[in-house]
Chains A and B, each alone.
Chain A
Amino acid sequence: MKCSEFLHELTDYLDGVIDAPTKSELEEHLAWCHNCYVVCDTTKKTIEIYRDSQLYELPEDLRTRLRSAIVTKCQSRKKSEPGTA
């Protein structure tokens, strides 16, 4: 397997949605190709870091304010258009 072929399958490999024969080919490639091993490992870390980062968390006070504004607007729509909400 070539490195470019490995990269082509990287997303499915990381997502665990790959058939068994392709998976063993990829893992055989990983066993000796240091570059692909590093790319695979650091890509996996990239995903995990973003997933666990709590980037752009909605602060509780803002959350309450937004929800209250949404509910108020929904209620006024309900009143203005009875039965069509």
Chain B
Amino acid sequence: MGAIQPKVSEPVSDELALVASAKAGDVTAFEELVRRYDRNVFRIAQHITQNREDAEDVVQDAFIKAYTNLKQFQGQSKFYTWLVRIAVNEALMKLRRRRPERTVSLDEEIKTEDDSVPREVADWSPNPEQQYKQAELREILDKTINGLPASFRTVFVLRDVEGLSTEETADALELSIPAVKSRLLRARLQLRERLNKYFQRPGRDKEKSNGAQKPISGDGNQ
């Protein structure tokens, strides 16, 4: 079984020139940066806020904040990573306003003890997503990721959906690399577990497989 294929990102060779022009007040150059990253910012914002209107606001607020604070961008990281950091903060603020009863923080420590140990190990059909129509599949994926804590969703969307590296994710979220890795593992495993009920093989194969439905033991076999 090989590694997942990383998402190929577009070349950004002219990006520093665009940023420099935008800093000098060229709104057209900034508009090009908006065009380049608005879809990513929207996706990230909706993953975090789980609300379409909030995500729209985040896109506007994040880009305007970026434009206003462009002078503070020193070019040590990519412009996109810097922009993501602004967008994530805006999105978390929206989420806190919408759910004031819950503290929403990227540092929140969610139940640590063995919550990443799979409880149910069921094999999936070869192309499980093809069992559903596109709209149904999107609904399943939306509902499933919605159930994860915000700090897990955020790391998952940056690393696995947007294709940022672990270092870039850590930089954008101001987290340590081990913290990013730990949240990513738990996010991936929890999503997998929650998707089991939609994607597992039909009964006959499940019975045939010795491993199906058996949890992985923490101290395992040698």
A binding-site residues for B, Cβ under 8 Å: 2-7, 10-17, 27, 30, 33-51, 53-58, 62-63, 66-67, 69-71, 73-75, 77-78, 82-85
Among B116, B166, B211, B216, the most chain A Cβ lie within 10 Å of the Cβ of: B216
Could you pull out 22 A-B pairs where Cβ atoms are within 8 angstroms?
Answer: A7-B216, A17-B166, A30-B1, A35-B118, A35-B121, A35-B214, A35-B216, A36-B216, A37-B1, A38-B123, A43-B189, A45-B128, A49-B128, A49-B129, A50-B145, A51-B160, A56-B43, A58-B42, A62-B56, A63-B39, A70-B59, A74-B30
Question: How many Å from the CB of B212 to the closest CB on chain A?
Answer: 8
Q: Using A51-B7, A51-B161, A53-B138 as known contacts, say yes or no to A66 and B25 having CB atoms under 8 A apart.
A: no
Tell whether B12 is near chain A: CB-to-CB under 8 Å: no
Among A4, A58, A83, A84, the most chain B Cβ lie within 10 Å of the Cβ of: A58
CB-based contact A85/B4 at 8 Å? no
Question: How many Å from the CB of B69 to the closest CB on chain A?
Answer: 10
Tell whether B210 is near chain A: CB-to-CB under 8 Å: yes
Q: Collect the chain A residues with CB atoms within 8 Å of residue B96's CB.
A: none
CB-based contact A3/B220 at 8 Å? yes
Among A4, A34, A38, A82, the most chain B Cβ lie within 10 Å of the Cβ of: A38
Of the residues A15, A49, A78, contact of B3 by C-beta under 8 Å:
A15
Within 8 A of A (CB), among B177-222: 181, 184-185, 188-189, 191-192, 195-196, 199, 209-212, 214, 216-222
| One of B60-68, B76-84, B87-95, B97-105 contacting the partner | B60-68
In the complex, the chain A residue whose C-beta lies closest to that of B222 is A2
Q: How many residues of B contact A (CB 8 A)?
A: 70
Q: Collect the chain B residues with CB atoms within 8 Å of residue A51's CB.
A: 7, 160-161, 163
Tell whether B106 is near chain A: CB-to-CB under 8 Å: no
B binding-site residues for A, Cβ under 8 Å: 1-4, 7, 22-23, 25, 27, 30-31, 34-35, 38-39, 42-43, 46-47, 55-56, 59-60, 63-64, 67-68, 70-71, 116-118, 121-124, 128-129, 137-138, 141-142, 145, 156, 160-161, 163, 166, 181, 184-185, 188-189, 191-192, 195-196, 199, 209-212, 214, 216-222
Q: Collect the chain A residues with CB atoms within 8 Å of residue B191's CB.
A: 46, 50
Q: Collect the chain B residues with CB atoms within 8 Å of residue A43's CB.
A: 188-189, 192
CA gap between A45 and B191 in the complex, in Å: 11
CA gap between A67 and B47 in the complex, in Å: 20
Q: Collect the chain A residues with CB atoms within 8 Å of residue B212's CB.
A: 38
Question: How many Å from the CB of B4 to the closest CB on chain A?
Answer: 5
CA gap between A2 and B156 in the complex, in Å: 26
Question: How many Å from the CB of B170 to the closest CB on chain A?
Answer: 14
CB-based contact A58/B185 at 8 Å? no
